[in-house]
Structure 1
Amino acid sequence: MEKPLFDVFWLVLCSALVFNMQLGFLCLEAGLTRSKNAINVALKNMADFALSVLLYWLYGFGIMFGLSQTGWWGTSHFLPDVGHTDAWLSAFFLFQAMFCATSVTIISGATAERLRFGVYLTLGALVAGLIYPVFGHWVWAGSFADGQGWLGAAGFVDFAGATVVHSVGGWVALAVLMLIGPRSGRFDQDDPSLTIPGSNLPMAMLGALLLFFGWFGFNGGSTLSANAAVPGIVVNTLLGGVAGVAVVIALNWRLRGFTDAIQPINGLLAGLVAVTASAHAISAPDAVLIGAVGGLVMKLAETALLRWRLDDAVGAVPVHLAAGIWGTLAVALFGDPEILGTGLSVAEQLLVQVKGILVCAAWSFGVAYLVFWLMKRRIPLRVTPEAERLGLNISEHGTRTELIELLEHMEGDARAGDFHGEVPVEPFTEVGQIASQYNRVIRALGLAVEKTQAIVRDIRDGIVTFQADGLLTSFNPGSQRLFALPGETGTVRLHQLLVEDNWQP
């Protein structure tokens, strides 16, 4: 398929922007999870990207964009000869591979801090190798080879993947969350809205902005050509994202009197997801409204998950699934019929959009839940409670950090009851500063204990300690002289001290 060289260049450029979203997901997820799991989260993002691209090259691309077999799956372009002769094939594959990797990465954040690394790779392979390309063929087949997917032929419209990419990832994440349960301690408190704090919120915000930047290529490149529609699509993307931020900030201010650091992040992403399905066929006011409602839908879904005690570590399901559903419905409500080009009325288009949402749910959620329910009967899906307590950095990857080593030294001091040992100090780091202050506290406490022990040892009065049943646990020299006690407490009880010469067991 011959394409103008500038269109090829545009798609390659947009592929680079979409790849930038992988950086955003990594920063976002690592920042919103605890530091003891941040390395695990980062490694999952790197590993699932590599796995997704390889599987997509082997056969996923062929299933999704090959010659259609009755609208259900592709039958050509397996192991595509990219990077050699056909420039358009290479550019198209590159762009679509980035989309596939994005769908898989959504699941990483939702299931963070408890899922075994090997299980996650299996999950990534299932999505990249089966769930995503099959559903993608139903909607987008015909974009490269002959034929059309059956949902696309019915009139279902999803311009850049609010359902194909984001809802697929969201449905799979929801299925796995229902099977693995919440993180330890997540719902132990009375107020389920109290979240487990992230390790680095500024880094999470940076991740959100990197995603925002990459989204311009995500939506702008979905035209598959550098045409006159691109500027409007990029602007609609911009307006949808900022509207999501604004409405979430305003809502939190109204309900709570302040806005926390996480809600604007998810509001931004929800607005972007919502506008993704129709960015090519709506006006600027429509984009603002769709993005704003996307933020509201995200908040409602977040509340529902808390009520159902489903622990989404980064809010991926409310953002990508709930806002994706709304955005897919908004195609019928706000999309220009001439641009959509389906020939359907608003009511007919809405019915087709609902049908596509339900099909996506049945396929994505159904396959993921069935496969991992069967897997759960054979092997554990999540790490052990002790591994979760230590953190997946250590338990899954054997990766040690300064903070972990400091905590281990402190725990050793606590077990030994030693007020004289000092932990190693790594200079010029935050953990080193904590260790230095800890050593100062230990030295001061050790001196205080020594003074107290000296007073107790030298005082003439008798001082004894005992258990609830009266068994003596310790006594000072004054007590030994007063009661003629032996050097060891043995089995002496308190009442025996009150009877002359009766302290002997």
Structure 2
Amino acid sequence: MENTILEMQFALDTFYFLMMGALVMWMAAGFSMLEAGMVRSKNTAEILTKNIGLFAIACTTYMVYGYDLMYGGGILLDGISGAGEKYSNASDFFFQVVFVATAMSIVSGAVAERMKLFSFFAFAVVFTGIIYPMEGAWTWAGEAVFGLYTLGDLGFADFAGSGIVHMAGAAAALAGVIVLGARKGKYNKDGSSNAIPGANMPLATLGTFILWMGWFGFNGGSVLAMASKESANAVAMVFLNTNAAAAGGVIAALLLVKLIWGKADLTMALNGALAGLVAITAGPDTPTALEATLIGGVGGILVVISISVLDKVFKIDDPVGAISVHGVVGLWGLLAVPLTNSSVSFTGQLAGAGTIFVWVFGTSLVLWLVLKAIMGVRISEEEEYEGADIAECGLEAYPEFTK
């Protein structure tokens, strides 16, 4: 009887892992739609190609080497083909690989509208195969940072990846944006900034809702179990807090832009939702629903301020606001954990955040510069004017509307 119960728990937890991984995989569609809506129509096909390409690259490079580097026992060595103690090892790999793809998707939007497609793919190979797995090994796998110290011993905790996934993706994106430079026409000679509106706000809104839904798999799956009373209750609480934080982010962002500009701003509302989701990802298991709403609300306020400051003060051209949503708010998510979890320290969170940022930003910056020297990273000014769709893909997303 006991063996039958254990087998049933194994089957249910494996199934739950797979379904949550499928939800996270669906976030790839969310990033694709969000980014396609936030760029100009002449760059739509190229950014969609980037998103499906990066997902395939992430799945392959993480299988070949990344998973082995992060946890040990890659697929090619049959390290995950068997059954673990609580669930199938293959289900664990599937859940982990869609997280890698999510981190890489963050980079895609920030470097949109001026980057060479295959330079981006080359970066994706190294990022998903080495850069991300290394910092993942130091955090979720618990290995020492270059043999010096373990982040767990310092009190670092990141439940589902505000820092490990989102801030890491933003750090890589920031390095790429610095190397690439701004889009033509974004900044005037006097330093003032010009708005470059996206082509399709309904598509961007659809993408945000898809991401919102997929986030339940992102955070809920990180409970790592479902087939017991305790784990089922934990999953329910994580779902509740994830939804509450997203709602708080939208409300706070809308109220702030109304206060500042006197009008609602859809793009800020969308980024407010994503900011709320990123903010709660580091610790969705311990807050109350109201606390989660407030954590998400702070994220919504931070993203509005950050997008404006990075654009107008630092001249960081990020077409979708990815660096602010996933980087600035990702840091806030890490720092919010000790507010509701007494076993986590602020110093540990800062140490972890600093380790992740320095590693990912530093290695990414070197990689971007190497790619720039070897194959170039930016399309020409003429190609940028014509659109990346024609220059990189040889087709247009909306050909009947441009003839």
Q: Does 1:96 align with 2:93?
A: no
Q: Distance in 2 between matches of 1:244 and 1:401?
A: 32
Q: Distance in 1 between matches of 2:82 and 2:377?
A: 44
- The answer to whether the Cα contact below 8 Å between 2:142 and 2:151 also exists between their aligned partners in 1 is no
Residue 51 (structure 1) aligns with: 57
The offset of 1:360, in angstroms, is 1.0
RMSD of Structure 2 on Structure 1 (CA): 2.2
Residue 146 (structure 2) aligns with: none
Indicate the SS of the match to 1:114: coil
Residue 16 (structure 2) aligns with: 10
Task: Number of aligned residue pairs: give it.
Answer: 384
Counterpart amino acid of 2:390?
I
The offset of 1:191, in angstroms, is 8.1
- The answer to whether the Cα contact below 8 Å between 1:82 and 1:90 also exists between their aligned partners in 2 is no
Deviations 1:223-271 (A, max 9, x none): 1101120000110000100100000100111111111221100000001
Residue 69 (structure 1) aligns with: none
Indicate the SS of the match to 1:160: coil
Structure showing greater radius of gyration is 1
Match of 1:79 among 76, 79, 82: 76
Match of 1:387 among 379, 383, 387: 383
- The answer to whether the Cα contact below 8 Å between 1:82 and 1:93 also exists between their aligned partners in 2 is no
Residue 23 (structure 1) aligns with: 29
Residue 394 (structure 2) aligns with: 398
Residue 202 (structure 1) aligns with: 202
The offset of 1:404, in angstroms, is 7.5
Q: Distance in 1 between matches of 2:76 and 2:151?
A: 25
Indicate the SS of the match to 1:152: coil
Q: Distance in 2 between matches of 1:285 and 1:234?
A: 13
Match of 2:282 among 277, 283, 287: 277
Deviations 1:187-209 (A, max 9, x none): 13868454211111001000000
- CA 1:8–1:406: 2 relative to 1, 3 Å: closer
Q: Distance in 1 between matches of 2:22 and 2:291?
A: 28
The offset of 1:282, in angstroms, is 1.5
Residue 119 (structure 1) aligns with: 119
Counterpart amino acid of 2:381?
P
Residue 229 (structure 1) aligns with: 234
Q: Distance in 1 between matches of 2:142 and 2:75?
A: 16
- The answer to whether the Cα contact below 8 Å between 2:154 and 2:351 also exists between their aligned partners in 1 is no
Deviations 1:306-355 (A, max 9, x none): 111110010000000000000001111x2232xxxx4x6xxxx1001001
Indicate the SS of the match to 1:369: helix
Residue 301 (structure 2) aligns with: 296
- The answer to whether the Cα contact below 8 Å between 2:123 and 2:367 also exists between their aligned partners in 1 is no
5+ long unaligned stretches in structure 1: 67-75, 144-148, 408-505
Counterpart amino acid of 1:125?
V
The offset of 1:403, in angstroms, is 4.0
Q: TM-score, normalised by structure 2?
A: 0.90
Q: Distance in 1 between matches of 2:396 and 2:10?
A: 51
Q: Does 1:321 align with 2:327?
A: yes
- CA 1:34–1:27: 2 relative to 1, 3 Å: same
| RCO higher in structure (CA 8 A, sep ≥6) | 2
Counterpart amino acid of 2:76?
L
Q: Distance in 1 between matches of 2:40 and 2:11?
A: 46
Residue 43 (structure 2) aligns with: 37
Residue 242 (structure 1) aligns with: 247
The offset of 1:127, in angstroms, is 1.2
Residue 500 (structure 1) aligns with: none
The offset of 1:406, in angstroms, is 4.3
Q: Sequence identity, in percent?
A: 37
Indicate the SS of the match to 2:153: helix
- CA 1:111–1:4: 2 relative to 1, 3 Å: same
Indicate the SS of the match to 1:259: coil
Match of 1:264 among 264, 269, 278: 269
Residue 64 (structure 1) aligns with: 70
- CA 1:235–1:383: 2 relative to 1, 3 Å: same
Q: Distance in 1 between matches of 2:263 and 2:162?
A: 30
Q: Distance in 1 between matches of 2:261 and 2:223?
A: 41
Q: Distance in 2 between matches of 1:241 and 1:214?
A: 12
Residue 3 (structure 2) aligns with: none
- The answer to whether the Cα contact below 8 Å between 1:57 and 1:80 also exists between their aligned partners in 2 is no
Counterpart amino acid of 2:112?
A
Runs of 4+ in 1 over 6 A off after TM superposition: none
- The answer to whether the Cα contact below 8 Å between 1:136 and 1:164 also exists between their aligned partners in 2 is yes
- CA 1:57–1:131: 2 relative to 1, 3 Å: same
Aligned ranges for residues 296-445 of structure 1 at < 5 Å? 296-306=301-311, 307-332=313-338, 334-337=339-342, 342=343, 349-400=345-396, 403=399, 406-407=402-403
- The answer to whether the Cα contact below 8 Å between 1:220 and 1:233 also exists between their aligned partners in 2 is yes
The offset of 1:135, in angstroms, is 0.3
Counterpart amino acid of 2:357?
A
Q: TM-score, normalised by structure 1?
A: 0.73
Counterpart amino acid of 1:255?
I
Residue 141 (structure 1) aligns with: 141
The offset of 1:370, in angstroms, is 1.6
Q: Does 1:169 align with 2:165?
A: no
The offset of 1:162, in angstroms, is 0.2
The offset of 1:361, in angstroms, is 1.2
Indicate the SS of the match to 2:264: coil
Q: Distance in 1 between matches of 2:398 and 2:272?
A: 34
Q: Distance in 2 between matches of 1:26 and 1:161?
A: 20
- CA 1:295–1:193: 2 relative to 1, 3 Å: farther
Counterpart amino acid of 1:92?
D
